Amino acid sequence: MFDNLSNKLDKAFKILKGQGSISEINVAQTMKEIRKALISADVDFKTAKEFTATVKEKALGQEVLTSLKPGELLTKIMKDELSILMGSEKSDLDLSSKPTIILVAGLQGSGKTTFCGKLALLLKTKFKKNPLLVACDIYRPAAINQLTVLSEEVGVSVYKEEENKNPVDIANNAISFAKKNSKDVIIIDTAGRLAIDEKMMNEIGLIKNSINPNEILFVVDAMTGQDAVNTAKSFNEKLDFNGVVLTKLDGDTRGGAALTIRSVVDKPIKFIGTSEKMDGLDIFYPDRMAGRILGMGDVISLVERAQQQFNEEEARKIQKKIAKNSFGFDDFLSQIQQVKKMGNIKDLASMIPGVGKSIKDADIDNDSFKGIESIIYSMTPEERSNPVILNGSRKKRIADGSGSDVQEINQLIKQFNQMSKMMKMMQGGGASKMMQMMKGNNMPKF
Protein backbone atom coordinates (compact mmCIF):
# COMPACT_ATOMS: atom_id res chain seq x y z
CA MET A 1 0.00 0.00 0.00
CA PHE A 2 1.14 3.46 -0.81
CA ASP A 3 0.73 5.60 2.27
CA ASN A 4 1.77 9.15 2.19
CA LEU A 5 4.89 10.26 3.90
CA SER A 6 3.28 11.84 6.90
CA ASN A 7 1.43 8.64 7.75
CA LYS A 8 4.70 6.79 7.57
CA LEU A 9 6.46 9.35 9.67
CA ASP A 10 3.74 9.04 12.27
CA LYS A 11 4.42 5.36 12.35
CA ALA A 12 8.13 6.04 12.59
CA PHE A 13 7.68 8.45 15.47
CA LYS A 14 5.49 6.08 17.40
CA ILE A 15 8.58 4.07 18.05
CA LEU A 16 10.00 7.04 19.91
CA LYS A 17 6.90 7.57 22.01
CA GLY A 18 7.55 7.32 25.70
CA GLN A 19 11.29 7.68 25.30
CA GLY A 20 12.89 10.47 27.29
CA SER A 21 15.74 11.22 24.93
CA ILE A 22 16.89 10.22 21.53
CA SER A 23 19.54 7.53 21.66
CA GLU A 24 21.43 5.45 19.13
CA ILE A 25 19.19 2.50 19.82
CA ASN A 26 15.76 4.04 19.72
CA VAL A 27 16.56 6.22 16.73
CA ALA A 28 17.85 3.48 14.43
CA GLN A 29 14.48 1.91 13.68
CA THR A 30 12.89 5.33 13.30
CA MET A 31 15.56 6.36 10.82
CA LYS A 32 14.92 3.26 8.79
CA GLU A 33 11.23 4.11 8.64
CA ILE A 34 12.00 7.69 7.67
CA ARG A 35 14.28 6.51 4.91
CA LYS A 36 11.53 4.25 3.62
CA ALA A 37 9.07 7.12 3.81
CA LEU A 38 11.38 9.44 1.89
CA ILE A 39 11.99 6.85 -0.79
CA SER A 40 8.26 6.29 -1.17
CA ALA A 41 8.02 10.03 -1.70
CA ASP A 42 10.46 9.51 -4.63
CA VAL A 43 13.48 11.00 -2.92
CA ASP A 44 16.60 9.51 -4.49
CA PHE A 45 17.94 6.48 -2.62
CA LYS A 46 21.35 7.97 -1.84
CA THR A 47 19.96 11.38 -0.94
CA ALA A 48 17.56 9.73 1.49
CA LYS A 49 20.38 7.79 3.06
CA GLU A 50 22.60 10.84 3.50
CA PHE A 51 19.69 12.84 4.79
CA THR A 52 18.74 10.38 7.49
CA ALA A 53 22.38 10.16 8.55
CA THR A 54 22.49 13.94 9.01
CA VAL A 55 19.23 14.00 10.93
CA LYS A 56 20.38 11.16 13.15
CA GLU A 57 23.59 12.97 13.96
CA LYS A 58 21.73 16.15 14.90
CA ALA A 59 19.13 14.28 16.91
CA LEU A 60 21.45 12.07 18.93
CA GLY A 61 21.79 13.01 22.54
CA GLN A 62 19.34 15.87 22.35
CA GLU A 63 17.47 16.15 25.62
CA VAL A 64 13.81 15.82 24.89
CA LEU A 65 12.02 18.57 26.72
CA THR A 66 8.97 17.53 28.65
CA SER A 67 6.78 19.71 26.54
CA LEU A 68 8.06 18.20 23.34
CA LYS A 69 7.69 14.56 22.38
CA PRO A 70 10.72 12.96 20.75
CA GLY A 71 8.72 12.63 17.56
CA GLU A 72 7.98 16.34 17.53
CA LEU A 73 11.60 17.19 18.14
CA LEU A 74 12.64 14.94 15.31
CA THR A 75 10.04 16.48 13.04
CA LYS A 76 11.47 19.90 13.78
CA ILE A 77 15.02 18.76 13.09
CA MET A 78 13.85 17.12 9.88
CA LYS A 79 11.96 20.15 8.69
CA ASP A 80 14.96 22.39 9.31
CA GLU A 81 17.27 19.99 7.53
CA LEU A 82 14.91 19.62 4.58
CA SER A 83 14.70 23.40 4.22
CA ILE A 84 18.48 23.66 4.30
CA LEU A 85 18.75 20.89 1.74
CA MET A 86 16.36 22.69 -0.57
CA GLY A 87 18.20 25.97 -0.38
CA SER A 88 16.74 27.82 2.63
CA GLU A 89 16.09 31.08 0.82
CA LYS A 90 13.83 31.65 -2.14
CA SER A 91 15.67 32.37 -5.33
CA ASP A 92 14.49 35.06 -7.75
CA LEU A 93 14.92 35.43 -11.48
CA ASP A 94 17.66 37.81 -12.56
CA LEU A 95 15.81 40.29 -14.74
CA SER A 96 18.50 43.00 -14.77
CA SER A 97 19.65 42.54 -18.38
CA LYS A 98 17.84 44.38 -21.14
CA PRO A 99 16.46 42.31 -22.67
CA THR A 100 16.59 39.34 -20.34
CA ILE A 101 16.75 36.07 -22.25
CA ILE A 102 15.22 33.02 -20.56
CA LEU A 103 15.75 29.58 -22.08
CA VAL A 104 13.35 26.84 -21.00
CA ALA A 105 14.38 23.18 -21.31
CA GLY A 106 13.28 19.76 -20.09
CA LEU A 107 11.98 16.29 -20.89
CA GLN A 108 8.88 15.62 -23.00
CA GLY A 109 5.64 16.24 -21.18
CA SER A 110 7.21 17.99 -18.20
CA GLY A 111 5.11 21.09 -18.84
CA LYS A 112 7.50 23.52 -20.54
CA THR A 113 5.00 25.21 -22.83
CA THR A 114 2.41 25.67 -20.07
CA PHE A 115 5.15 27.08 -17.81
CA CYS A 116 6.23 29.56 -20.52
CA GLY A 117 2.67 30.88 -20.71
CA LYS A 118 2.42 31.17 -16.94
CA LEU A 119 5.80 32.88 -16.64
CA ALA A 120 4.84 35.41 -19.31
CA LEU A 121 1.68 36.24 -17.38
CA LEU A 122 3.55 36.55 -14.09
CA LEU A 123 6.20 38.82 -15.60
CA LYS A 124 3.55 40.94 -17.25
CA THR A 125 1.32 41.39 -14.20
CA LYS A 126 3.63 41.28 -11.17
CA PHE A 127 6.86 42.57 -12.67
CA LYS A 128 5.31 44.98 -15.18
CA LYS A 129 7.42 43.59 -18.00
CA ASN A 130 6.72 43.37 -21.68
CA PRO A 131 7.65 39.76 -22.46
CA LEU A 132 7.94 37.94 -25.78
CA LEU A 133 7.24 34.21 -26.07
CA VAL A 134 9.32 32.34 -28.63
CA ALA A 135 8.21 29.03 -30.15
CA CYS A 136 11.29 26.86 -30.73
CA ASP A 137 9.62 23.46 -30.42
CA ILE A 138 9.59 22.61 -34.10
CA TYR A 139 9.09 18.87 -33.55
CA ARG A 140 5.98 18.08 -31.55
CA PRO A 141 2.77 18.38 -33.58
CA ALA A 142 0.91 21.60 -32.74
CA ALA A 143 3.46 22.74 -30.15
CA ILE A 144 3.71 26.13 -31.86
CA ASN A 145 -0.08 26.41 -31.89
CA GLN A 146 -0.18 25.57 -28.22
CA LEU A 147 2.19 28.42 -27.34
CA THR A 148 0.27 30.74 -29.66
CA VAL A 149 -3.04 29.95 -27.95
CA LEU A 150 -1.47 30.47 -24.52
CA SER A 151 0.12 33.74 -25.62
CA GLU A 152 -3.32 35.01 -26.64
CA GLU A 153 -4.79 33.86 -23.37
CA VAL A 154 -2.24 35.79 -21.30
CA GLY A 155 -2.12 38.73 -23.71
CA VAL A 156 1.57 38.52 -24.59
CA SER A 157 3.03 38.48 -28.10
CA VAL A 158 4.55 35.37 -29.56
CA TYR A 159 7.36 34.98 -32.07
CA LYS A 160 7.16 32.00 -34.42
CA GLU A 161 8.41 30.86 -37.80
CA GLU A 162 6.19 28.00 -38.89
CA GLU A 163 8.35 27.03 -41.87
CA ASN A 164 11.75 27.37 -40.24
CA LYS A 165 13.19 24.06 -39.03
CA ASN A 166 16.20 25.57 -37.30
CA PRO A 167 15.53 26.48 -33.67
CA VAL A 168 18.89 28.30 -33.36
CA ASP A 169 17.90 30.67 -36.17
CA ILE A 170 14.42 31.14 -34.78
CA ALA A 171 15.84 32.04 -31.35
CA ASN A 172 18.26 34.56 -32.85
CA ASN A 173 15.62 36.12 -35.07
CA ALA A 174 13.33 36.37 -32.06
CA ILE A 175 15.97 38.30 -30.14
CA SER A 176 16.39 40.83 -32.95
CA PHE A 177 12.62 41.10 -33.15
CA ALA A 178 12.40 41.69 -29.40
CA LYS A 179 15.03 44.42 -29.49
CA LYS A 180 13.24 46.21 -32.33
CA ASN A 181 9.89 45.96 -30.57
CA SER A 182 11.10 46.95 -27.10
CA LYS A 183 10.37 43.61 -25.45
CA ASP A 184 12.32 43.38 -22.21
CA VAL A 185 12.06 39.65 -21.45
CA ILE A 186 12.36 36.88 -24.03
CA ILE A 187 11.02 33.46 -23.01
CA ILE A 188 12.21 30.69 -25.32
CA ASP A 189 10.17 27.48 -25.33
CA THR A 190 12.07 24.45 -26.63
CA ALA A 191 11.21 20.89 -27.64
CA GLY A 192 11.14 18.17 -25.01
CA ARG A 193 14.20 15.95 -25.16
CA LEU A 194 15.60 12.92 -23.41
CA ALA A 195 18.89 13.37 -21.60
CA ILE A 196 20.47 10.51 -23.59
CA ASP A 197 19.39 11.84 -26.98
CA GLU A 198 22.75 13.20 -28.06
CA LYS A 199 21.50 14.94 -31.17
CA MET A 200 18.80 16.80 -29.29
CA MET A 201 21.06 17.61 -26.36
CA ASN A 202 23.59 19.06 -28.78
CA GLU A 203 20.85 21.13 -30.34
CA ILE A 204 19.92 22.77 -27.04
CA GLY A 205 23.65 23.29 -26.41
CA LEU A 206 23.87 25.11 -29.73
CA ILE A 207 20.89 27.29 -28.87
CA LYS A 208 22.50 28.16 -25.56
CA ASN A 209 25.88 29.03 -27.05
CA SER A 210 24.35 31.06 -29.81
CA ILE A 211 22.00 33.24 -27.77
CA ASN A 212 23.78 33.30 -24.43
CA PRO A 213 20.70 33.35 -22.19
CA ASN A 214 20.63 35.15 -18.82
CA GLU A 215 18.54 32.44 -17.22
CA ILE A 216 18.25 28.78 -18.16
CA LEU A 217 15.38 27.04 -16.45
CA PHE A 218 15.06 23.27 -16.25
CA VAL A 219 11.44 22.15 -16.08
CA VAL A 220 10.76 18.89 -14.27
CA ASP A 221 7.61 16.95 -13.39
CA ALA A 222 7.15 16.75 -9.61
CA MET A 223 6.06 13.13 -9.99
CA THR A 224 9.43 12.07 -11.38
CA GLY A 225 10.94 9.03 -9.70
CA GLN A 226 14.49 7.86 -9.15
CA ASP A 227 15.45 8.91 -12.68
CA ALA A 228 15.39 12.56 -11.57
CA VAL A 229 19.05 12.15 -10.61
CA ASN A 230 20.20 11.09 -14.08
CA THR A 231 18.09 13.61 -15.94
CA ALA A 232 19.00 16.58 -13.77
CA LYS A 233 22.70 15.71 -13.95
CA SER A 234 22.72 15.34 -17.74
CA PHE A 235 20.85 18.57 -18.37
CA ASN A 236 23.07 20.37 -15.91
CA GLU A 237 26.25 19.07 -17.53
CA LYS A 238 25.04 20.26 -20.91
CA LEU A 239 23.44 23.54 -19.94
CA ASP A 240 24.66 24.49 -16.47
CA PHE A 241 21.14 25.77 -15.82
CA ASN A 242 20.35 28.49 -13.27
CA GLY A 243 17.22 27.13 -11.75
CA VAL A 244 14.56 24.48 -11.67
CA VAL A 245 10.81 24.65 -12.24
CA LEU A 246 8.79 21.95 -10.54
CA THR A 247 5.46 21.29 -12.29
CA LYS A 248 2.22 19.44 -11.50
CA LEU A 249 2.53 19.98 -7.77
CA ASP A 250 -1.26 20.14 -7.57
CA GLY A 251 -1.21 16.37 -7.76
CA ASP A 252 -0.86 14.25 -4.65
CA THR A 253 2.83 13.65 -5.17
CA ARG A 254 5.05 14.47 -2.22
CA GLY A 255 7.55 15.85 -4.68
CA GLY A 256 10.63 14.01 -3.51
CA ALA A 257 12.26 14.92 -6.81
CA ALA A 258 12.59 18.47 -5.47
CA LEU A 259 14.90 17.22 -2.77
CA THR A 260 16.85 14.99 -5.12
CA ILE A 261 17.50 17.61 -7.77
CA ARG A 262 18.53 20.26 -5.30
CA SER A 263 21.00 17.96 -3.61
CA VAL A 264 22.39 16.42 -6.80
CA VAL A 265 22.98 19.51 -8.94
CA ASP A 266 22.90 22.20 -6.25
CA LYS A 267 20.68 24.54 -8.26
CA PRO A 268 17.76 26.39 -6.70
CA ILE A 269 14.13 25.60 -7.42
CA LYS A 270 12.66 28.89 -8.56
CA PHE A 271 9.04 28.18 -9.45
CA ILE A 272 6.36 25.60 -8.87
CA GLY A 273 3.37 24.89 -11.10
CA THR A 274 0.17 24.43 -9.13
CA SER A 275 -2.67 24.22 -11.65
CA GLU A 276 -3.52 23.99 -15.32
CA LYS A 277 -4.68 27.59 -15.29
CA MET A 278 -2.37 30.37 -16.38
CA ASP A 279 -2.17 31.94 -12.92
CA GLY A 280 -1.07 28.64 -11.37
CA LEU A 281 2.59 29.54 -10.92
CA ASP A 282 4.08 30.15 -7.49
CA ILE A 283 7.49 31.20 -6.30
CA PHE A 284 9.19 28.31 -4.54
CA TYR A 285 9.69 28.52 -0.78
CA PRO A 286 11.98 25.77 0.57
CA ASP A 287 10.51 25.78 4.07
CA ARG A 288 6.98 25.42 2.78
CA MET A 289 8.04 22.56 0.53
CA ALA A 290 9.74 20.91 3.50
CA GLY A 291 6.44 21.10 5.33
CA ARG A 292 4.69 19.52 2.40
CA ILE A 293 7.13 16.64 2.11
CA LEU A 294 6.65 16.02 5.81
CA GLY A 295 2.87 16.39 5.51
CA MET A 296 2.86 19.29 7.96
CA GLY A 297 0.59 21.55 5.99
CA ASP A 298 1.32 24.92 4.56
CA VAL A 299 -0.55 27.66 6.39
CA ILE A 300 1.35 30.51 4.79
CA SER A 301 0.39 29.51 1.27
CA LEU A 302 -3.20 29.06 2.41
CA VAL A 303 -3.34 32.53 3.86
CA GLU A 304 -1.72 33.98 0.75
CA ARG A 305 -4.19 32.29 -1.50
CA ALA A 306 -7.00 33.59 0.62
CA GLN A 307 -5.57 37.10 0.43
CA GLN A 308 -5.42 36.87 -3.35
CA GLN A 309 -9.05 35.88 -3.68
CA PHE A 310 -10.80 37.75 -0.92
CA ASN A 311 -11.86 41.18 -1.74
CA GLU A 312 -10.98 43.51 1.12
CA GLU A 313 -13.84 45.85 0.47
CA GLU A 314 -16.26 42.96 0.46
CA ALA A 315 -14.84 41.83 3.76
CA ARG A 316 -15.34 45.26 5.31
CA LYS A 317 -18.94 45.32 4.09
CA ILE A 318 -19.58 41.98 5.70
CA GLN A 319 -18.01 43.12 8.95
CA LYS A 320 -20.33 46.09 9.02
CA LYS A 321 -23.29 43.85 8.38
CA ILE A 322 -22.31 41.54 11.16
CA ALA A 323 -21.98 44.47 13.50
CA LYS A 324 -25.41 45.69 12.51
CA ASN A 325 -26.83 42.21 12.81
CA SER A 326 -27.89 42.26 9.20
CA PHE A 327 -25.77 39.41 7.93
CA GLY A 328 -28.04 37.46 5.61
CA PHE A 329 -28.08 34.43 3.36
CA ASP A 330 -26.91 36.47 0.39
CA ASP A 331 -23.72 37.32 2.26
CA PHE A 332 -23.38 33.70 3.27
CA LEU A 333 -23.68 32.74 -0.39
CA SER A 334 -21.05 35.24 -1.50
CA GLN A 335 -18.70 33.89 1.14
CA ILE A 336 -19.18 30.39 -0.22
CA GLN A 337 -18.39 31.67 -3.71
CA GLN A 338 -15.18 33.22 -2.45
CA VAL A 339 -14.09 30.06 -0.71
CA LYS A 340 -14.80 28.16 -3.91
CA LYS A 341 -12.67 30.59 -5.90
CA MET A 342 -9.68 29.69 -3.75
CA GLY A 343 -9.52 26.30 -5.35
CA ASN A 344 -10.26 22.72 -4.54
CA ILE A 345 -11.56 22.47 -0.99
CA LYS A 346 -9.64 19.31 -0.30
CA ASP A 347 -6.39 20.93 -1.43
CA LEU A 348 -7.11 23.91 0.76
CA ALA A 349 -7.97 21.81 3.78
CA SER A 350 -4.81 19.79 3.36
CA MET A 351 -2.79 22.96 3.83
CA ILE A 352 -4.08 23.24 7.37
CA PRO A 353 -1.69 21.45 9.73
CA GLY A 354 -3.15 18.25 11.03
CA VAL A 355 -6.08 18.27 8.66
CA GLY A 356 -4.26 16.76 5.71
CA LYS A 357 -4.14 13.33 7.25
CA SER A 358 -7.68 13.18 8.50
CA ILE A 359 -9.25 14.02 5.16
CA LYS A 360 -6.97 11.87 3.09
CA ASP A 361 -9.73 9.47 2.16
CA ALA A 362 -12.67 11.81 2.47
CA ASP A 363 -14.37 12.84 -0.73
CA ILE A 364 -14.67 16.57 -0.43
CA ASP A 365 -15.21 18.52 -3.55
CA ASN A 366 -16.69 21.80 -4.55
CA ASP A 367 -20.01 20.06 -5.10
CA SER A 368 -20.42 19.84 -1.35
CA PHE A 369 -21.77 23.40 -1.43
CA LYS A 370 -24.33 22.62 -4.08
CA GLY A 371 -27.08 21.62 -1.65
CA ILE A 372 -26.62 24.80 0.38
CA GLU A 373 -26.49 26.93 -2.73
CA SER A 374 -29.67 25.53 -4.21
CA ILE A 375 -31.52 26.05 -0.94
CA ILE A 376 -30.44 29.68 -0.80
CA TYR A 377 -31.27 30.20 -4.46
CA SER A 378 -34.80 29.00 -3.72
CA MET A 379 -35.34 31.75 -1.16
CA THR A 380 -36.89 35.09 -1.98
CA PRO A 381 -34.66 38.17 -1.61
CA GLU A 382 -36.62 39.10 1.48
CA GLU A 383 -36.06 35.72 3.09
CA ARG A 384 -32.37 35.93 2.31
CA SER A 385 -31.84 39.28 3.95
CA ASN A 386 -34.18 38.61 6.85
CA PRO A 387 -34.04 34.91 7.73
CA VAL A 388 -36.24 35.41 10.80
CA ILE A 389 -39.36 35.37 8.64
CA LEU A 390 -38.77 31.77 7.55
CA ASN A 391 -41.85 29.98 8.81
CA GLY A 392 -43.21 26.50 8.12
CA SER A 393 -44.93 27.21 4.84
CA ARG A 394 -41.98 29.20 3.52
CA LYS A 395 -39.64 26.37 4.44
CA LYS A 396 -41.89 23.90 2.67
CA ARG A 397 -41.83 26.01 -0.48
CA ILE A 398 -38.01 26.33 -0.35
CA ALA A 399 -37.66 22.60 0.19
CA ASP A 400 -39.78 21.87 -2.88
CA GLY A 401 -37.93 24.42 -4.95
CA SER A 402 -34.47 23.13 -4.08
CA GLY A 403 -35.19 19.41 -4.11
CA SER A 404 -34.43 19.05 -0.41
CA ASP A 405 -36.64 18.52 2.63
CA VAL A 406 -37.65 20.79 5.49
CA GLN A 407 -35.21 19.08 7.81
CA GLU A 408 -32.28 20.14 5.64
CA ILE A 409 -33.59 23.69 5.56
CA ASN A 410 -33.81 23.70 9.35
CA GLN A 411 -30.27 22.40 9.60
CA LEU A 412 -28.96 25.08 7.29
CA ILE A 413 -30.72 27.78 9.26
CA LYS A 414 -29.24 26.40 12.46
CA GLN A 415 -25.76 26.37 10.96
CA PHE A 416 -26.26 29.83 9.59
CA ASN A 417 -27.31 31.14 12.98
CA GLN A 418 -24.32 29.55 14.66
CA MET A 419 -22.03 31.01 12.08
CA SER A 420 -23.39 34.53 12.43
CA LYS A 421 -23.13 34.19 16.19
CA MET A 422 -19.54 33.05 15.86
CA MET A 423 -18.65 35.90 13.58
CA LYS A 424 -20.14 38.35 16.02
CA MET A 425 -18.03 36.90 18.77
CA MET A 426 -14.90 37.14 16.66
CA GLN A 427 -15.61 40.80 16.19
CA GLY A 428 -16.30 41.33 19.82
CA GLY A 429 -12.97 39.73 20.64
CA GLY A 430 -14.70 36.77 22.18
CA ALA A 431 -12.15 34.35 20.88
CA SER A 432 -12.14 32.27 24.00
CA LYS A 433 -15.92 32.00 23.93
CA MET A 434 -15.62 30.83 20.38
CA MET A 435 -13.08 28.22 21.29
CA GLN A 436 -15.50 26.89 23.87
CA MET A 437 -18.16 26.69 21.25
CA MET A 438 -15.88 24.80 18.92
CA LYS A 439 -14.92 22.42 21.66
CA GLY A 440 -18.59 21.84 22.29
CA ASN A 441 -18.65 20.43 18.79
CA ASN A 442 -21.06 23.05 17.62
CA MET A 443 -18.94 23.92 14.64
CA PRO A 444 -21.06 24.69 11.64
CA LYS A 445 -20.73 21.89 9.17
CA PHE A 446 -20.60 22.62 5.49
Beta-carbon count within 10 A of 79 CB? 16
Interaction of residue 381 with another protein, rule CB under 8 A: no
CB of 107 to another protein, least distance (A): 7
Which residue lies nearer to another protein by CB, 194 or 303? 194
Given 94, 237, 240, 276, the residue binding another protein (CB under 8 A): 276
CB of 114 to another protein, least distance (A): 8
Considering only residues 125 through 164, tell me which ones interact with another protein, judged by CB under 8 A.
139-143, 145-150, 153
Residues 6+ apart with CB under 8 A from 387: 328, 329, 413, 416, 417
Rounded CA-CA distance 160/151 in Å is 11
Separation in Å, CA 59 to CA 69, 140, 143, 290? 13, 50, 50, 18
User: Could you say which DSSP state residue 162 is in?
Assistant: T
Give me the 277-316 binding string for another protein, x by CB under 8 A, dash otherwise.
Answer: ----------------------------------------
Which residue lies nearer to another protein by CB, 20 or 109? 109
Residues 6+ apart with CB under 8 A from 411: none
Give me the 313-352 binding string for another protein, x by CB under 8 A, dash otherwise.
Answer: -------------------------------x-x------
Residues 6+ apart with CB under 8 A from 11: 33
Interaction of residue 10 with another protein, rule CB under 8 A: no
Rounded CA-CA distance 298/79 in Å is 12
Interaction of residue 252 with another protein, rule CB under 8 A: yes
CB of 113 to another protein, least distance (A): 8
CB of 429 to another protein, least distance (A): 39
Rounded CA-CA distance 267/124 in Å is 25
Interaction of residue 202 with another protein, rule CB under 8 A: no
How many residues touch another protein (CB under 8 A)?
Answer: 54
DSSP string, 371-382: HHHHHHHTS-HH
Secondary structure in 3-state letters for 26-55: HHHHHHHHHHHHHHHCCCCHHHHHHHHHHH
Rounded CA-CA distance 326/319 in Å is 10
Which residue lies nearer to another protein by CB, 147 or 423? 147
Residue pair 157/132 in contact (Cβ under 8 Å)? The answer is yes
Considering only residues 86 through 125, tell me which ones interact with another protein, judged by CB under 8 A.
107-111, 113, 117
User: Could you say which DSSP state residue 398 is in?
Assistant: H
Rounded CA-CA distance 32/49 in Å is 9
Which residue lies nearer to another protein by CB, 2 or 439? 2
Which residue lies nearer to another protein by CB, 120 or 422? 120
CB of 39 to another protein, least distance (A): 6
At position 125, the amino acid (one-letter code) is: T
Which residue lies nearer to another protein by CB, 188 or 257? 257
Which residue lies nearer to another protein by CB, 63 or 252? 252
Rounded CA-CA distance 160/164 in Å is 9
Interaction of residue 190 with another protein, rule CB under 8 A: no
Interaction of residue 263 with another protein, rule CB under 8 A: no
Which residue lies nearer to another protein by CB, 157 or 172? 157
Rounded CA-CA distance 103/105 in Å is 7
Residue pair 217/241 in contact (Cβ under 8 Å)? The answer is yes
Please give the torsion angle defined by the CA atoms of residues 73, 79, 84 and 85, in that order, rounded to the nearest 10 degrees.
120
Rounded CA-CA distance 29/201 in Å is 44
Which residue lies nearer to another protein by CB, 242 or 247? 247
By CB under 8 A, which span of 14-22, 75-83, 227-235, 317-325 interacts with another protein?
Answer: 227-235
Interaction of residue 427 with another protein, rule CB under 8 A: no
Interaction of residue 198 with another protein, rule CB under 8 A: no
By CB under 8 A, which span of 9-17, 173-181, 249-257, 289-297 interacts with another protein?
Answer: 249-257
Interaction of residue 236 with another protein, rule CB under 8 A: no
Q: Which pairing describes strands 281-283 and 269-273: parallel, antiparallel, or unpaired?
A: antiparallel
Please give the torsion angle defined by the CA atoms of residues 313, 317, 318 and 323, in that order, rounded to the nearest 10 degrees.
140
Given 366, 374, 415, 418, the residue binding another protein (CB under 8 A): 366
CB of 353 to another protein, least distance (A): 19
Instruction: Tell me phi and psi for residue 216, to 5 degrees.
Output: -115, 120
By CB under 8 A, which span of 32-40, 84-92, 406-414, 417-425 interacts with another protein?
Answer: 32-40
Q: Which residues bind another protein (CB under 8 A)?
A: 1-2, 36, 39-42, 45, 107-111, 113, 117, 139-143, 145-150, 153, 194-196, 221, 223-228, 230-231, 234, 248, 250-253, 256-257, 276, 344, 346, 363, 365-367
